Each structure stands twice: as structure tokens, then as C-alpha cells.
A and B are shown apart, each in its own frame.
Chain A
Amino acid sequence: MKTLGEILLKQTPFSEIVMGNTALVRAMIESHTRVITSYPGSPTPEIAEAIRAIPKEKRPFYFEFSVNEKVATEVAYGAAVNGHLATVFFKSVGLNVAADTFVQLSLMNIIGGMVIVLGDDPGANSSQNEQDNRHYACLSYTPVFEPASPTEIYTFYKAAAKLSKDKGMPVILRLTTHICHAKEKIDFQGWHDRELDKTPRFDTKNGPYVPIAADVFPMKRKALQRLETVEKYADQSPLNQIFDHGNSNRGVITMGLPFLSLMDVLEFADNKPDILKLGMVYPIPVKMVEDFLRVHIEVKILEELDNVIEKEIKKLAYDRQLSTKIFGKMDLEDWIGEYTPDKVFEILKKTWPDLLTAMDAPKDMVSSAPARPPQMCPGCGHRSAFHAIKKALRDTDITVADIGCHTLGFLPPYQMGELLMCMGASTAMGSGLSLFNDTRNVVVFLGDSTFFHAGLPGIINALFNNHNVTLILMENGTTAMTGHQDHAASGQNFNEPTDKIPLRRVLEGLGVRHIYEIDTYQQAKLTEMVKDAINIKEFSAVIARHPCMLKFTREQRRKPGYQPRRVDIDQQKCHRLYECIRDFGCPTFTQMADGRIEIHPDLCIGDGSCVQTCPSEAISMPKVV
């Protein structure tokens, strides 16, 4: 078997099939990146999985999962101004959290170099929006490299790291979901570790590092000057490429995944347009773009999400008084969703109706398959919690969700968590909902990783300003939804065991007067506790705890002597009340054609949380199978 850890540290050149996220790790190693930080979020967690594959003592860098993206950015920055090449990575919306720090970076002289790796998510595959983070680059004068494939992640990171170190400025490597997760064979170069220079090189002479009053303007001026030099760099950079099809009529300017889609779509074109593929999307290679515009009558800007490049290019064309016809976004749909091959096919058809030959499509399409929304796993403690809490509330009460696996509670049959914003927002949104409101109880949910990430300010505010909300902490001991990363209450960080910071102690320390605590499998007691808690007319907290059963079951299965268990249904006792499927809703319960309910042998984990939910007591306690 090939182990990923060994592959990643190979000294001699080699080829291997890897995912984009894994390629990034190799690029960081080859670039001698010394400090890497992150907070988990799709599409980036597999970067940390690849890092984990390298034993801690063998890692030629320091890695941590920080408490949130802002903290991660600050840790990386601190290391970088001490002379270490640093990288922080996180998902698209993570930049909103990190923004207050991030927007300052370009003002600083980052002597070690710092690359910010963003996992944007066009198509909102696993995010609450599909924001285009290139806007942040413009707002903070930060260059952006945009790879289109795992191979390019590897080469572009190395170029970005070099540029950042050479110029002492932050550089963004912007990835998108299906670039992160794409797999292909990459030819990797050799690599030799260098001795780590531990000297703390921070020196105010390299600064200023304090952007206050009169210093702000020279710092901003320097940032703008540096960006100008990058504009020249972009024009020389081999990362921007021309694909010359000898077409003096039509050209396309594109980048990233849309470029790959375009190449596939052009298999349906006899007269292929020329292509300018941008590897640097901010600042754009002005000269190269101008030359491309000059030699084509019509140019299409094929750009996913917002019209960031389009505006730059139209401005350029205006300034140079070019007569090229430029096609940008044509309607609202062009702003929405991922530029998959299908989408690009439609967009090009709209732009140049004569360009493409038709694709064969099936004619006889009839039936459709029932939707399969994601759901909580068998045995999930959140399910028991929702089932119990629902019984404590009236229909008119307001339930506020936060981000995490418990967000799935908004789906039937629970319909709990009727508003969602972003990480940590539930308590404060609930506080607002409680104002002038004497009739509808406000219950807010919050996961344990989110508690530390951005949940605390809302809780402190509720105490400080005396808001009447009931907080339910859905504690499962891990950052479950993103793949089970440890957090401050897990007792373990990425590298070693640490002291837990128990949620209860934090709440007590803050002065929360009403704290309840229970394992969610004790459903009847949880119902009673929530009833009590909502009757208190001030801030109260219920810690609804159960370990993540997906994680737990996986760990159990790996242990020697593991014996699978399952519940069973006594068909004699079953009165077909269907509480198990309609209210409790564990996916294990399967309805047969004759109306019988059966346990799905592949799904049941034998946790037994369902036993108490059957009014006819037809579900037996789990037994070894």
C-alpha cells in the first residue's frame, strides 16, 4: 500500500494521482512553508487530512486548527512577520470572519511571506452562499492566483509563495470546490528539507507595523505601489496562457474551472475561439489582455460568479479606446451557480448562437427519483435532542438554528431551527427576536465548535444586556459536519492532548445563572429541562450532550473484537403508529410495501436511542447480531 504521508515527503521527483487539496500540501512542503493554520470548512478540510497523514515529528512545518478563521490568520501573520513563510487556509465564508485582520495585511511588510488559501464554493455545494472572494482582493490590494486543476494548485502555490516572500506582501491562492476535490496525476519535483531557521526576526525597522493616524497613508501608498509592481509581474508571468486557434474574430478570456469547461465545450465547435486563460486574476495582466483585445473583433469574458474581471477589462478597453466588442454577463443566471461544462455550453450558445453543434440528448425522459436531502445519521444525538425539545415547545415558539450538523433539524420531520445566518449568529438573532416579545419563547441552538468560534460574543451580549432566550448547546465533542476536527472542549488539538475547556465552566465563569446539562438520549428529562428553562424569564442554557455517533461508531469498528448491534421490531407489538419514521425519523426505519416497518441492517448502529420513542414498545433493546 502506498501511504500518503510517505508520498508527500518523497525527496526524489515522482508522479502520483492526488486530489487538489493534497497537491497543495506537497507544494507547501517544497516551498518550505513553516507555519500553516486553518479553521475547518468545505472544500478545504482534506488539506488537513493530508497533513495528518504525515506523522507529527516528520512534518517540516507547524500546523494548527485555530479557534476560528480570524485567529488562524493572526497566528499565521505573527509567524510571518517573524520571518517564517506562513499559510492560512479556510472556506469562502471564513474570509468574512477573518476580514478585520485580513484587510490590514497588505499594509504590512510581511518579511516571511504569507499565502491565504481560499476555498470558494461556486454552486454553494456546501456553504450558505456562493460569495465571490475576489472582491476582498480588490478591497485589500491583494494579488490573486487562480489555478484550474490540481497540477496548477501545485505550481501556482509555489509561485504565490515566492511572490509573497519576495515582496513581503500577502498573496491569495483562490481555489474552488471542484478544483480542490479534482484528482489527476501530477509530476512532482524533488525536495530537500532545509534546516529550520528559528531566529525570531521581527524588527520594527521592517515596519511600520502599527497603522495609526499619519502612518496609515504611507502604508497604504506602499501597498498600492507594491500592487503596481505585481501588475508588471502578471504581464511577465507564464501562469497566464494563450491558446491560439488562429481565430481573429473571436476570443474568450477565462480562468479556473470555467476554462476546463470551455475546453470541453469547444469539442462541439468547428471554429474554436482563441483563449486567454488567466492564472492571475488580480491584478490582471494588462498588456496581455490589451493585446488580446486588439487582435479580436469579439471577446467573451467567461467568468464564474461576479463580473470582477469584466469590469477591469471594460475599463481597460475604454481607456485605450478599443473597439473590440466585449461580451460579459448577459443575464442574471450568468451570475448564479458553478460554471460546469453544461452551464458553459449554454452561456456560449447564448453569446454566439452559431458556435456550437448540438449535443445528443436522451429523448425519453420520464420518471424522476424522490429527493434525498442530507439527514442526521443513525444514532445522532441531535435527533434525540430535537425529538425531545419539540415536545417542550409550542408551535408558535421561535427556534433559531446555527451552523453545524444540527442545522439539518430544519428539515422534516423536526422543523427546528427556522432561521439560519452564519456561524455563531443564533444567540444574538434570538436576542433580537425576544425584544417586545412576551408571547413566543425564543430557543436558540449552537454547536460546540461554533460556541468557541463565534458563539461567545452573542452569549456574553445576552447576559450583558439581559436578553430572555434559551440557549441549547448541541455538544457532540467534535466539529462534526466538516469531518470531525477537534475543538477547545475535545481535550485534544491537532497535535497533542490539551486541557479541555468545558462549556459548562465557561458558562459558569460568564455568570450564567441557569445551566442545565443532560445526555440527549434521556429524552423525557431533556423535555422537562427545556420546559423549565423557557419558563425562566432571563437567559438560560441547556447543554444537550451526546458524542457524535458517526465518529464513535467508526472508532468502535476499528477496535478488535467489535461486535455490531442492532435493535429489532416486534411485529406483534407494532401498532403501525409510525412515530419512528414520522416523528423520530431515524433513517434506519424502512417502510415495507405492506406497511410493516423494518430495521435496515446496513444502517442501524444499535445505539438504542429509538427504543424510548415507540408508544407501543415494539422496538427491542439493541442486541449483538
Chain B
Amino acid sequence: MKSFNIYLTGVGGQGIGLLSEILLRSADHAGLKVKAVDTHGLAQRGGVVISHLRFGEKVFSPLIFRNQADLVIALERHEALRGLNSALKDNGTLIYYDTVWQPLEVRINSADPVTKEMIQRICRKRNIRDLPIFKADLKDARMQNMVVLANIERNKLIPGIKKEHYDEAMKDLMQGTMLKTNLKLFEEERRR
């Protein structure tokens, strides 16, 4: 198989770490060779958090070349645009949770907010599949990542990874009610 590169991005506190770990382990359960790296450090203090995931036989560095990601997953709209610009290749796929955590400059009016339409326009121009996701009745914001995961599965965005692989990965990482609620949400959303 050709290598497959995923660039995962969001804001510190959004649960990027868990999502990235699930994807990584799902790929492993699917028999893919994996490499990954998360950015830590200052990130958890409201900055940008990024995770690189690379699947395939001929993968060395965990870091993806600029604009060579096949799939960009973002948990926030501004970060979706940043990821689209800096990481995604033409003809790739962008999936993002359409919530907004305003960066400082936007809050104080010194920069324009990013709109859904803006992202859509760029995606069209670059022939990128654009999948904004939002679940209005979601109670716990920390489960937005699970809604995104379910939609990744539903749209079969990662070649080679099947539903059972996602399930197995979740079981590796969670237990008790947390596992139950997450599996339930995952199941509901992927069938929607």
C-alpha cells in the first residue's frame, strides 16, 4: 500500500490526544505499519495542538511534509483552515468539527473570523472533499472528537481501517462508562 498521511489539528483541551491514539491503534489493528507524533509543550495552554499520523511500509519520519497530508482532521474551524493551508494536498479530504474557539485576534477585532463558506471556497478550488461536522444536541463538548471519528468511519476516510478496528482501539484505551458512552455515540453517529 502507498503511505497514507493524516494531519490532526485542534486547540489545546479539545481531546486531540485521545482521537489520535484511537486512530493510531485502529490502524495497527488493521495491520498497517504506523508512525505518529503529537505536539506537546505550550500547546495545552489554548494554543494549536497537532498530531501527525503516517501509515504505510515506506514511512520513516513521523512528520508529514508540508501539504502532503491525504486527510486533515480538525476539531475547530480556524484550525481547519490552517490545516487545509499548511498540511493538506490538493485532491485530499478535510473533515472538521464546525465549532469556533475564537483566537485572540478575532476576539479583539484585529483579524477576520474564518467562515464555513471560506473553507468551502478553497476546497472547491483545490478539489478537496470538505466535510464539516456538527452535532447540535451533543451534551459533552469533550465528545466532539467521537462524533468526528464516527464520521471518518461512516465515510470510510482511511483506507484499510474498518469499524471493528476502531472498536478494538477504543477498548484498548477506555473502560467502564467512558467506554460505553463513547462506543454508543460512535455507533449512533456512524449509522446516522
Contacts and interface: CB of A to CB of B under 8 A. Distances in A.
Contact of B89 (A259, A362, A603): A362
A374 B45 contact: yes
User: Helix, strand, loop or mixed for chain A's interface?
Assistant: loop
Contacts of B67: 361-362
Nearest to B119: A367
Interface residues of A, number: 64
Contacts of A408: 45
A267 B58 contact: yes
B101 A183 contact: no
B172 interface: yes
Contact of B60 (A46, A263, A345): A263
A297 interface: no
Nearest to B54: A264
A46 B39 CA distance: 12
Interface stretch (A487-495, A531-539, A582-590): A582-590
A365 interface: yes
Given A181-B39, A360-B89, A375-B45, A370 B78 contact: yes
A222 B171 CA distance: 55
Given A17-B34, A585-B104, A261 B85 contact: no
B107 interface: yes
A591 B102 contact: yes
Contacts of A2: 172-173
A362 B83 CA distance: 13
A332 interface: no
A374 B47 contact: yes
Contact of B103 (A261, A371, A603): A371
A587 B109 CA distance: 14
A125 B61 contact: no
Interface string B13-49: 1000000000011001000011111111111111110
A376 B46 contact: yes
A373 B103 CA distance: 8
B111 A374 contact: no
Nearest to A580: B107
Contacts of B106: 370, 591
Interface string B35-77: 1111111111111100000000011111111111000000000
B18 to A, nearest CB: 13
Contacts of A360: 89-90
Interface string A322-350: 00000000000000000011100100000
Contacts of B62: 178, 182-184, 260
Interface residues of B, number: 67
Given A372-B103, A587-B46, A602 B34 contact: no
Interface in A261-281: 261, 263-264, 267
A589 B104 CA distance: 10
Contact of B78 (A366, A372, A412, A587): A372
Of A42, A341, A360, A413, most buried by chain B (CB within 10 Å of CB) is A341
Contacts of B41: 42-43, 125-126, 177
Given A260-B60, A342-B65, A377-B46, A368 B37 contact: no
A600 interface: yes
A412 B35 contact: no
A581 B25 contact: no
A212 interface: no
Nearest to A593: B113
B101 A602 contact: yes
A367 to B, nearest CB: 6
Interface of B: 11-13, 24-25, 28, 33-48, 58-68, 78-79, 81-82, 85, 88-90, 99-109, 111-114, 118, 122, 125-126, 141, 171-175, 179
CB-CB nearest 7 A-B residue pairs = A126-B41, A374-B47, A370-B111, A263-B60, A602-B141, A260-B61, A369-B82
Given A370-B106, A593-B113, A602-B99, 15 more contacts: A1-B179, A125-B39, A125-B41, A181-B37, A183-B37, A185-B34, A264-B60, A361-B67, A366-B122, A369-B79, A369-B82, A372-B47, A375-B45, A591-B106, A591-B109
